[in-house]
Amino acid sequence: MKFDLDSGLFSGVTNQPSPNCDARPLGEVIDLLVIHAISLPPGQFGGPYISDLFCNRLDGAAHPYFAEIHQMEVSAHLLVRRQGEVIQYVPLQLRAWHAGKSVFQGREGCNRFSIGIELEGCDDVPFEPVQYQVLVQLCREIMRAYPAITPDRIVGHSDIAPGRKTDPGPYFDWSHFRQLLAEAVA
């Protein structure tokens, strides 16, 4: 996987463009990376539903939970599936709609200055080893392209929306991730 700064896209990944994005404010520096977790329906993995949600084609009748969320306009830049497949929804230079109401170091509206990576997962299931490996590869490429993103500026959704969000959740091994990242960027 290589990142092209001009297009904002990764090579070697599936590209499913989401309409749920827009231009970042002029002069905004991308200096934060937010790790999320998502499963649709909750606690279930596989299937097209995450992409359907991010691309505004989720059928509200396909599952009772979808009736609540199918009209939401949300996205992420990237998704890492359980088997390590990567799907890109939004070019990195654009603002994906992933963080919602959020604040980092006193700055509100984290979508303006962040990149959002979803991991297919939930609060009560460990993530797969391959997901950590792929996440580290993505982070290494992103940090090269956007040097203002340093290891201490990689956070969970729960860190920027405490009390509102819990992801990536207690089964995301931050220590393991940070060790792999340190080795990859050394």
The catalytic residue positions are 118
Taking the C-alpha atoms of residue 59 and residue 71, their distance in angstroms, rounded to an integer, is: 9
| Element (DSSP H or E) covering residue 174 | helix 174-185
Q: Which of 126, 96, 113 is nearest to 160 (CA)?
A: 113
Please list, in sequence order, all residues whose beta carbon lies within 8 angstroms of the beta carbon of residue 41, skipping any fewer than 6 positions away: 49, 63, 65, 66
Taking the C-alpha atoms of residue 31 and residue 143, their distance in angstroms, rounded to an integer, is: 9
Q: Which of 73, 71, 64, 66 is nearest to 49 (CA)?
A: 66
